[in-house]
Amino acid sequence: MKQEGARHILVITYWDRDDPLIVNYTLPYLRIIQRILPAGSQIHLVTLDKAVRQGLRSPEQDGIVHHPFPYVPFGGAGMRMMLSLVWSLRGIVRREHIDTIHAWCTPAGMIGYLLAIFTRKPLIIDSYEPHAEAMVENGTWKRSGLAFRTLFRFERWQTGKAQAVVAASEGMRAYAKEKYGHVPDIFLVKPACVDLKRFSSSNVKRADLLRSLGLEGKVVAVYAGKFGGIYLEQEVFDLLRVAHDHWGGRLHVLLLTSHSREELLPFMEKAGLKPDMFTIRFVPPHDVPDLMGLADWALTPVKPVPTKRYCTPIKDGEYWALGLPVMITKGDLQMIQRSLNGMELGASSVRWTKPVMS
C-alpha cells in the first residue's frame, strides 16, 4: 500500500543493467533523487538487457526496484518489442501506483511517451539531447530511413508532451525550438557528474596493477568505450601510430571495451601497430576506476558531428576526476597529431613542449 505523501517514479532506460551508463551515470542520480523524495517513496528502474535476469536486486541499487526486460535492436522487431514493453509497463504503473514517468534519453523517451499517453501520467525526459540526427550524422542511419524518421518524429512528440526536460547543455533549448518547434516550459540543465569517491586519487597508478599488467615505466594511454557509431574507428589507431612513433616501445594502450581483440586487429594492422602494445579488457564497472587510473592520458574519439555539441560524454568526467589529460576530437586528425607530438607525459604530471613535428 502506498504511504501518504510518497512519490513512486518509473525510470525507463534503453540500456543494459551492467552498462556503465547505468552504473556510473543513471544510478548515482537516482540515489540523489531517492534521498530527497518523501518517506515511503519508491524508484522503479527499467533496463533493456541482452541477458534478462529476472528478480535481480543488487545492493548497489540501494533499494531501487529493478525491472529487466529483453533488449531488441532498434528497427521493426524493436518497435514490436517497444509496444509489448509499453503494455507490460502499464501493469507496473497501475500495480506500483506510479506517479511520474522519467525516461532517460530520447530512445527510452519513445517508450515513456506512449506510456504517458496510455496512463495519463506526467512525463519527464532526462539527458535530453538529439539522437536521431546524431545517428544520421555519424553514418549509422540514413535520413530517408524508417529508423531516423520514426525516432525524429517521436523526439518532436515527446518534446511537446513532456512536463519537463533535463538537458546536458543549454544549447539544447535552441535546438528544440528549431527542430521540434517547441521548448517545454520547464527546461533544466544538469552537469554530467562523477562519483568522486569511486574515481579518486586512491585509484591512480596502483603499484600492484602496474606490476601485474607489466606497465611499470610505460606511458599508458586509455580509452574506455566502443568503436564505431558515434565514435571514430580507424582514425583512433592512426593517431596511436603517431603516438608510437613519438614514444616508441614506452607506449602502451589500455582499451576498456566490449570489442574483442579479433575485431580490433584489422585496425591495428592497417595502422602498422603490433597487438602486444594493447591490453584489451571488458571489465565490470566497479573495476574501471582502478584500470583507468593506470593511464597517463586518455582519449574521447567522438565523431565531430554538429549534434554532439549538445551531449556530454560521462567518460570525460571520469578521466578528469583521476587527473588525466584528455584528447578530444576536434575534427582534424592532423591537428591532433601536432598536439600529440608536443605533449610530454610523466607518471604524475603533464606539460606541453614545443611541437617536434609539423
Domain residue extents for the chain? 8-189, 201-352
> What is the per-residue pLDDT for 284?
82
> What is the per-residue pLDDT for 245?
95
CATH topology for 201-352?
Rossmann fold (3.40.50)
Question: Considering the entire predicted model, what is its pTM?
Answer: 0.78
pLDDT in tens, 232-284: 999 999 999 999 999 999 999 999 998 999 999 999 999 999 999 999 998 88
Task: Strands of the chain (E only): list them.
Answer: 8-12, 42-49, 65-70, 100-104, 123-128, 164-167, 186-189, 219-224, 251-256, 278-281, 297-300, 326-328, 343-345, 350-352
> What is the per-residue pLDDT for 293?
96
pLDDT in tens, 308-320: 777 778 888 899 9
CATH topology for 8-189?
Rossmann fold (3.40.50)
* C-alpha to C-alpha distance for 68 and 63, rounded to whole angstroms: 15
> Does the pLDDT of residue 341 top 50, yes or no?
no
Residue 92's contacts (CB-CB under 8 Å, 6 or more residues apart) are: 10, 44, 67, 98
Lay out the sheet containing 186-189: strands in order across: 65-70, 42-49, 8-12, 100-104, 123-128, 164-167, 186-189
Which has more pLDDT, 58 or 48? 48
Which has more pLDDT, 78 or 67? 67
> What is the per-residue pLDDT for 355?
30
pLDDT in tens, 9-57: 999 999 988 887 888 789 888 988 999 999 999 999 999 997 655 444 4
pLDDT in tens, 108-121: 999 999 999 999 99
Share of the chain above pLDDT 70, in %: 89
* Average predicted confidence (pLDDT) for the chain: 86
pLDDT in tens, 215-236: 999 999 999 999 988 889 999 9
Which has more pLDDT, 328 or 44? 44
> What is the per-residue pLDDT for 234?
95
